[in-house]
Every structure is written in structure tokens, then in C-alpha cells.
Amino acid sequence: MTAILLLRFNCFLLLLCLSLSGCQKESSPLIEIGDRSITLSDFRQEIKPLQTELVLLPSEQQKLLLRQSLSQLIDQELLLAEAQSRGIVINDQEMQQAMADLRGNYTAAEYLEILHNSGQTADRWMQQLRFRLLSSKVAARVTSGKSLIESLQVEEYYLQHLDEYRRPEQLQAKQMLLATEEEAIKLRNRLLAGESFSKLARQFSTSPDHENGGNLGLFSLGQFPPEFDKILFTLTPGRVSQPVKSPYGIHLFLVDKRIKAGVLPLAEVESTIRQQLQSAEEAQLYRQWLQELRERTEVHIDWEQLDKLHFNKAE
């Protein structure tokens, strides 16, 4: 009898040990990054927006996407730790400004509805926005003063990418839109007599641009209907066109200036090229810094937990 009781007690202890071992494994960190840790539950919450995509993928592709997400989460944690160590924060004013910029002309209520329809919560969206702002601040801090673009680099880029700076022939012109051909002829005669095109356009034109004197700005061939291009690109600067009929009414055109096709001079695009090269160099410096940060930070991943993670349509 004693032997049976002892056997039962030993079995109970074995089951208890197995149970505790299983619980410990389940609650053990999925990732340890320095003194930070992320559990499997944390990771599942982080990738929740991907779940609808994951359930459609076969097992191997799920595993690949999960590992990519894990890598991104590690980078995120590294950046958060770096921001904390450098005392970099995003204040409420910066958040409010960024939120207003993203909303544009939408009201707060309208934007919340857009977020809801896209499957995001306001809290999650704000968390992601704060992290993007924080990342930008960290990147600016670690690349500050390390990127210097020389004039020779700008000139070399310009010469190697001349095709990007070729411009077609352009015109600067004005128009009037009128209801009848008779009205157009009368106004054309007044223009030929020396009256101001801009002044008459403000007074008589029905086109939306009448408030600024019918100014069409700079444009190239193909930006307007073919029947307009045919008139405009054969019209001598300073001359008023004959009345031109369209579905909108009767038009009068005046070409102010013709700019020949050619290559934009370096002086016009130098600042744009310099900014472009500097942004590219800073991005490279930031990637290099992040890689070095990964290499010097101790990271442990429980691949067994990750590889057991699987999503199906029933979840």
C-alpha cells in the first residue's frame, strides 16, 4: 500500500514539474534585447494588423513574414532604447502638429473613421506616428554634421543625369472664356486696339482663372487639349488668337513668352541635387549606424517559440 502511495506521489510530482516547465516556457521571453524583453504575446499583438495577410499564406511564407516582422521589432526596440539613452522625446506639440499635417483637410472625426475603416485603432496609429517622429529625430541626431556634399559631387551628378533635366518647349499664356463668338470678336478688337488682356479677362471671362487675369502659367505641349495646343504653339508671343471654339465656350488666347526646349542650367537645379545627394548619404549613414547598433547589442531570440507560431483562418 505504501509503495502504491509513493508511486502515485512521484507521478504527481512529475506531472507538476512538467506543468510548471510548460508554463515557464510559455511565459519566457521570445526576444531579449539588452535589458529589454518581448514575450510571444507582445509579438502577437504587434503583428495583429498582419493577421489577415498571414492566414492566406502557406506555412513557409508565414515563417518568412514573421521573421521579417521580428527583425523590424528588434530594430524598433533598439531605436527606442537609443532615444531614451540620448534623452530624445516627442512632445505633445510635435504630435499635434504631425497629426494635423497628416489629417490635411479632414476633421478629427473624419480621420478616425478612415482609420477605423482601414482596420487601425487611434491608439495604434498614434503609437506608430510617435515612433516615426522619434526615428526621424534619432536619425537626425546620429547623422548630424557627418554629411557634406561637395560642389564637385553635385556637378558630377548633374552631368551623369542630364536627361532628368531636359525640358520641352514651354509657353506662358493667358486665356479668356466667353459665351459667344460675337462677344469674343468684340473683345479681340479691343485687345488689338491696345487694351489690357488681364483687365478684360477679369471683367468678362467666365473661366476659373479670370481672377488672375486668365493666366495659364507655364505649360508644355500635351497639357491642354490638342485643339488648344494647335493654336497656342503656333501663336507668336504678343499676338491674340482668333476665337477658338470648345465644349466650354469661345476662347481667346495670348502667348506672353515662349521658352525653347533645352537642358535646365546647373544653377537652377543645384540646390535640389545637393539636397537629394545629402538625403541619400544621410540614409546610408543611418543604415550603417543601425547595423553597428545591432552588432554591439546582445540579442537572444527563442526561435523555437517563433517557429511554432502559426495562423490559420479559424483564428
Between 51 and 159, residue with greater pLDDT: 159
Residues 63-108: tens digit of each pLDDT = 999 999 999 999 999 999 999 999 999 999 999 999 889 888 888 8
Quick check: 220 and 259 in contact, CB under 8 A?
A: no
Grouping H, G, I as helix, E, B as strand and the rest as coil, residue 292 is: helix
How far, in Å, CA of 85 to CA of 34, rounded?
A: 13
Mean pLDDT of the chain: 86
Is residue 178 predicted with pLDDT exceeding 70?
yes
What are the pLDDT digits (tens) for 181-211? 999 999 999 999 999 999 999 999 999 999 9
| Exposed / middle / buried, residue 46 (Cβ in 10 Å: 0-12, 13-18, 19+) | middle
pLDDT at 18: 38
Q: What is the CATH number of domain 169-260?
A: 3.10.50.40
Tell me how far CA of residue 198 lies from CA of 44, 98, 108, 144, 178, in angstroms: 64, 40, 41, 49, 14
Of the candidate CATH numbers 1.10.10.60, 1.10.10.10, 1.10.4030.10, 1.10.1060.10, the domain formed by 27-147+278-315 belongs to 1.10.4030.10
Amino acid at 62: Q
| Amino acid, res. 78 | L
pLDDT category of residue 228 using cuts at 50, 70 and 90: very high
Decide the pairing of beta strands 36-38 and 166-167: unpaired
> Which amino acid is located at 73 in the chain?
L
Q: What is the pLDDT of residue 13?
A: 38
Q: Domain map of the chain by residue range?
A: 27-147+278-315, 169-260
d(CA 265, CA 119): 48
In this predicted structure, the answer to whether residue 302 has a pLDDT above a threshold of 70 is yes
pLDDT tier for residue 313 given thresholds of 50, 70 and 90: low
- Cα distance between residue 298 and residue 54, in whole Å: 29
Give the pLDDT of residue 116. 81
Tell how many helices (H) and how many strands (E) occur in the chain.
Answer: 13, 9
Q: What is the pTM for the complete model shown?
A: 0.63
Fold match flag (27-147+278-315 vs 169-260):
no
Contact of 14 with 285, CB cutoff 8 Å: no
Residue 213: predicted pLDDT: 94
Answer whether residue 136 shows pLDDT above 70. Answer: yes
